[in-house]
Structure 1
Amino acid sequence: MRTASCSCGQLRIEVDGEPLGIGVCHCLACQRRTGSVFAALASFAPPYRVHGQATEYVRAGDHGSRFRFCFCPVCGTTVFHTEEGCEARSVSVAIGAFADPAFPPPRASVYDRRRHPWVSLPPGVDAFDEDPP
């Protein structure tokens, strides 16, 4: 089991098993959402357990999918998100919310065409100009 939490600890998510996927997203929406130059995410299969209260923000992706981002109403940290209609398949958790420097590296990089030129990817990462459908 792994636990990810917001900065103040009010919102937490517990996930089981190894990640289904680990990636970074360089789209402009993720850059704005995180306040960083990319988002780093790990997806996990259910079941997962959420503790605390979350405020939600829903955003449409480029291919029409709707993503529900859950963040702490106290400190504002985004902790996880789901894709509407796919909640039974996976949850995506912000890697930084695990606060684990030993967390495995990303395997994929999406919206690589938006990657800042000074950001280097680890060897072996599959890079996609956009988000593959």
Structure 2
Amino acid sequence: MIREGGCLCGAVRFKAEGEPVNVRICHCRLCQKAMGSPFFARALFDQKMLTVEGDTARYASSEALDRVFCKICGTRLFGWRKNGTVAGVALAVFDDRNAFVPTEHIWVAEKIDWVRLEDGLPQYPGTVPS
């Protein structure tokens, strides 16, 4: 299956092939700041399964992760692992914004206090235990 998406202005488009590795909602402080939102709802894909067209920019938010966004409109699109393995694709930028349903919340120890998690999904204070 191929799912497509893009930024607000349409200058960046992407295709994601196959199924994601996982679909999670991250509440860590870096994601909050990078997304300008209480959390980052994303589908994690192998980078080899993503095709991106258009002019993007990157910001190194940590040693391991680049935040990728449209140079024109600023839409935040991906959390891109620098080691070449996976990329988190923001759920809201898929053309079908209901294509994926999150299965768990991670980094809830850093969740904003007024966010209420009443969806019944598993919650982890940090990352998912191995």
Indicate whether the TM-score tops 0.5.
yes
Decide whether the 8 Å contact of 1:4 with 1:79 is kept in 2: no
The alignment status of 1:56 with 2:58, answered yes or no, reads: yes
Distance in 1 separating the partners of 2:118 and 2:100:
13
Distance in 2 separating the partners of 1:81 and 1:32:
13
Give the C-alpha shift of residue 6 in structure 1.
Answer: 0.7
Q: TM-score, normalised by structure 1?
A: 0.84
Distance in 2 separating the partners of 1:26 and 1:109:
7
Report runs of 4+ in structure 1 exceeding 6 Å deviation. Answer: none
Query: How do 1:15-34 residues align onto structure 2 when only pairs under 5 Å count?
Result: 15-34=16-35
Q: Secondary structure at the match of 2:61?
A: strand
Q: TM-score, normalised by structure 2?
A: 0.86
Distance in 2 separating the partners of 1:20 and 1:111:
18
RMSD over equivalenced CA pairs, Å: 1.8
List alignment gaps of at least 5 residues for structure 2.
Answer: none
Alignment partner, residue 104 of structure 2: 108
Decide whether the 8 Å contact of 2:38 with 2:115 is kept in 1: no
Give the C-alpha shift of residue 19 in structure 1.
Answer: 1.4
Alignment partner, residue 74 of structure 2: 76
Q: Secondary structure at the match of 1:30?
A: helix
Distance in 2 separating the partners of 1:118 and 1:68:
26
Q: Once the two structures are superposed, what CA deviation does each residue of 1:94-127 show, in whole Å capped at 9, x if it has no partner?
A: 101014242232112111012234322422x221
Q: Secondary structure at the match of 1:56?
A: strand
Q: State the identity as a percent.
A: 27
Q: 1:121 to 1:56 in 2, by over 3 A?
A: farther
